[in-house]
A and B are shown apart, each in its own frame.
Chain A
Amino acid sequence: MGTAVAVDGFQLAEQFKRSGKRARRGTFLLVLPLLAFLTVSFILPIASMLNRSVEDGTVSQILPRTAAALRAWNGKGRPPFSAYSALADDLVQAQLQDSIGKVATRMNFERAGMRSLLIKTARVAQTFEPPYAQAFNAVDLQWSDPEVWGTLRHASALHTAGYYAAAVDETRKADGTWIEKPEDEQVYIMLFQRTLWIATVVTLLCFLLGYPLAYYIAHQSERTRNLLLILVLLPFWTSLLVRTTSWIVLLQTNGLVNDGIALIGGEGARLELIHNMTGTLIAMTHVLLPFMILPTYSVMLSVPPQLTRAAVSLGATPWTAFWRVYFPMTLPGAAAGGLLVFILALGYYITPALVGGRTGQMISNMIEFHMKTSLNWGLAAALGGILLGGVVVLYIAYARLIGLNRLRLG
């Protein structure tokens, strides 16, 4: 907090400090509602999401005796006999309380086929008699596989690293060793890489397109400037869906752009511009461009034009004057714009979903899939957690390397 350096004696500094404090307290009261709003609508949901990615009490609540019995087992060799009888009891209870489906669905996230295995075993568990191990095997031989019990054991812990492991394409064997998923099921690491790549390329494209445009706008007369700014802002007032779908109209195989290309290069020259990575890059760059232009533009306005003139009059070529004097002064704006664009791009999902086809999908599309379709919220939360962690790390790295005080939004 900006404590004034005492220049005119101790007392003045003290007074200044006190009045500053009072003013701060007043300001704080003013932002209280916002703070409360942010807490309820932002901090709490994120905390609960992060919690969901590591905590899952479904199995330990519905199958408590099994959870206790399996805790005593180290995952090597055969499970203890107590686990069989405990599971038999738990399954009878779960069947009675109608909670078997819940635990079966949860277990199916961990291992394919567990759903029907549990449901069908629970249906007959009431008739089980010792020796339980044989009773289980009589229902389905899968129960003789220690891996099945290992999966149960891992899932019965209240806290699990399983979702994060799954989010980086790892899985766990019964004895707790982590192994990579089979090659044809690995997808998340690749998608994280692709997401980073798309965000980087979009940020670069936005800079290449946005910086000259901001420069151009900043050096017009005030009237033209306002008109051009409205043109930049216009997309903001248009729905994101409308903007994205208009790109479909423009870029599709028989769209305007391709018609133009065909006119010049013949029918064979039509390009695949949409429903792939190209489509995602084009549409995202367009949607995010204003976030680059606006901060850059407003910082450019604050650069006194005399400076470049002075540089030129001191013998610099226009290029040197621009590169050595003007550009460094506008960099904080471009950096702020770049950070905005990059972070927004990391979490993009509507645009890639609509125009990305198969190869232009990002990690957020997977998160949406697990939230809405597969209902594996734990995994969705873990993927979101990694994304959030990545943004925080990038932000810290940025603060360390460039300095947040050098960020300017205008």
Chain B
Amino acid sequence: MGRTTTIIIAAAAAVVILAGVLLFMLGRGSETAVNDLDKEMSDMALPSTDAAAPGAAPAGTLAGRSLVVVSWGGAYTKSQIEAYHKPFEAKTGVKINSVDYTGGIAEIKVQVEAKNVNWDVVDLEIADAQRACDEGLLEKFDAGILPPAPDGTPAVQDFVPNGITPCAVTSIIFSHIVAYDSTKFGTNPPKTLADFFNVKDFPGKRGLRKTNPKINLELALRADGVPGDQVYQVLSTKEGVDRAFKKLDSIKNNVIWWEPGSQPPQLLADGQVTMTTAFNGRIFDAQVTEGKPFVIIWDGQLQELDVLAIVKGTKNLDAATQFIAFATDTQRLADQAKWIAYGPARRSSLPLVGKHAIKGVEMGPHMPNAPQNSANALQIDFLWWADHQEELNQRWSAWLAK
């Protein structure tokens, strides 16, 4: 019996070692092959192998290359395909493969750490992009190559504040808003964020995003009367955080928690909730494409930026850089707003926003950054969150679970 066990253990060890060696060789083999191929291709494309100035490469040399562009799927990816991918493919001959994901930077981290990068460009929430940039998961982006606005305004001034970060360029502004079902409130509909927390006068369940404290804490403080420019000041103190949680406590038992962005319009449509926080684009879809009687409360909206960034170690750095510069130019951002109700990140794009490509609705009034909607808006401070998310996430999970 002893001997058999020894044999089994020895054999298992041998197998493990063998498998390890095999995997190692396989990995190296494919890596060298790809490297060779890549070298060949870059030799073909550029006379010198100097890849330090990717933006300087003439567009014609990109033909035949392909890019993997990763985004959130659904109507949002569709808007990008129509506004960015198709014209970029036509202009440069680069083939774009569109891949869907569910957000976060875990997958990017896995690829970069395993040195097996197969995503090139990723569409990220700006907070995630900042985080990934800090951790060295994204390529640095030279904002100098972004084209100026048609009137000559330099890109840096044309983009919304914080729109250009060391690793990322903002493409759209999306907004967290409160939406309600107008059939539920008759002649006295809710008008402010405070009404969201007033279950007595505006009965029914509320929908809130479960994923993290971001948005929820800001919403609670704004509903509690904190002016937009003081929200983060207040949240930086223990009392401020307590105040936000106390406000949330007041409706804790009347909340249905949602996670994916597709859920809030569904909850409203099913009558599960009468009011919910949501991404404005999702509510727009329900209003316009499905004809639902939903209304958006723009007052006190929380704006967030969505960016394009390049995964560190991509083999298509030059094509990826050019893609981002192209996709975030004035016309492309304006074109995207024909397909989805998210606001272009360039000021110069706003006047060019036209009608919805299918429904023919004028899109201007549905933009989060349209003047009439953004009077009382607050931009989510992603740098503040980068510092405070650990402790607040912890407290948030504890508060949720109890």
Report chain B residues within 8 Å CB of A28.
7-8, 11
Tell me if B1 is interfacial: C-beta within 8 Å of chain A.
Answer: yes
**Which one, B19, B212, B387, contacts A116 given CB within 8 A?**
B387
**Which one, B134, B399, B401, contacts A191 given CB within 8 A?**
B401
Judge whether A24 and B386 touch: CB under 8 Å: no
Q: Measured between alpha carbons, how far is A232 from B63 in the docked complex, in Å?
A: 55
Q: How many residues of B contact A (CB 8 A)?
A: 48
Chain A contacts with B in 357-410, Cβ cutoff 8 A = 357-359, 361, 366, 369, 371-376
Judge whether A32 and B11 touch: CB under 8 Å: yes
Tell me if B106 is interfacial: C-beta within 8 Å of chain A.
Answer: yes
Provide the B375-402 mask, 1 if CB < 8 A to any CB of A, else 0.
Answer: 0000000010011111111110111111
Dominant secondary structure at the B interface: helix
Identify the closest chain B residue to A354 (Cβ). B259
Taking the nearest CB of chain A, how far is it from the CB of B124, in angstroms? 13
Report chain B residues within 8 Å CB of A359.
401
Judge whether B255 and A358 touch: CB under 8 Å: yes
Tell me if B4 is interfacial: C-beta within 8 Å of chain A.
Answer: yes
Judge whether B401 and A373 touch: CB under 8 Å: no
Q: Measured between alpha carbons, how far is A113 from B387 in the docked complex, in Å?
A: 5
**Which one, B1, B271, B389, contacts A253 given CB within 8 A?**
B271
Judge whether B394 and A185 touch: CB under 8 Å: yes
Q: Measured between alpha carbons, how far is A109 from B287 in the docked complex, in Å?
A: 42
Chain A contacts with B in 20-34, Cβ cutoff 8 A = 21, 24-25, 28, 32
Chain B contacts with A in 317-339, Cβ cutoff 8 A = none
**Which one, A40, A358, A361, A373, contacts B19 given CB within 8 A?**
A40
Taking the nearest CB of chain A, how far is it from the CB of B297, in angstroms? 23
Report chain B residues within 8 Å CB of A32.
11, 15
Report chain B residues within 8 Å CB of A39.
12, 15-16, 19
Q: Measured between alpha carbons, how far is A113 from B235 in the docked complex, in Å?
A: 13
Known: A358-B210, A375-B109. A190 touches B397 (CB 8 A): no
Between B7, B23, B133, B390, the greatest number of chain A beta carbons within 10 A of the residue's beta carbon is seen for B390
Report chain B residues within 8 Å CB of A113.
387-388
Report chain A residues within 8 Å CB of B393.
369, 373-374
Identify the closest chain A residue to B256 (Cβ). A275
Q: Measured between alpha carbons, how far is A254 from B387 in the docked complex, in Å?
A: 42
Taking the nearest CB of chain B, how far is it from the CB of A189, in angstroms? 11
Known: A39-B12, A102-B136, A104-B134. A185 touches B389 (CB 8 A): no
Known: A115-B387, A275-B257, A372-B106. A185 touches B136 (CB 8 A): no
Judge whether B135 and A366 touch: CB under 8 Å: no
Q: Measured between alpha carbons, how far is A24 from B5 in the docked complex, in Å?
A: 11
Known: A1-B4, A358-B210, A372-B106. A353 touches B15 (CB 8 A): no
Identify the closest chain B residue to A39 (Cβ). B16
Tell me if A311 is interfacial: C-beta within 8 Å of chain B.
Answer: no
Q: Measured between alpha carbons, how far is A35 from B395 in the docked complex, in Å?
A: 43
Tell me if A101 is interfacial: C-beta within 8 Å of chain B.
Answer: yes
Between A24, A194, A357, the greatest number of chain B beta carbons within 10 A of the residue's beta carbon is seen for A357
Tell me if B104 is interfacial: C-beta within 8 Å of chain A.
Answer: yes
Report chain A residues within 8 Å CB of B136.
98-99, 101-102
Q: Measured between alpha carbons, how far is A99 from B133 in the docked complex, in Å?
A: 10
Provide the B167-194 mask, 1 if CB < 8 A to any CB of A, else 0.
Answer: 0000000000000000000000000000
Report chain A residues within 8 Å CB of B398.
184-187
Report chain A residues within 8 Å CB of B12.
35, 39
Mind listing 21 A-B residue pairs with CB under 8 Å? A1-B4, A21-B4, A35-B15, A36-B18, A40-B23, A105-B131, A105-B134, A112-B392, A116-B383, A184-B399, A185-B395, A186-B398, A187-B394, A187-B401, A191-B401, A252-B270, A254-B272, A275-B256, A373-B106, A374-B389, A375-B105
Residues of B within 8 A of A (CB): 1, 4, 7-8, 11-12, 15-16, 18-19, 23, 104-106, 109, 131, 133-136, 205, 210-212, 255-257, 259, 270-272, 383, 386-395, 397-402
* A-B contacts besides A28-B7, A375-B135, 13 pairs, CB < 8 Å: A36-B19, A39-B19, A101-B135, A102-B134, A102-B136, A105-B134, A113-B387, A184-B395, A184-B398, A252-B272, A371-B106, A373-B393, A375-B105
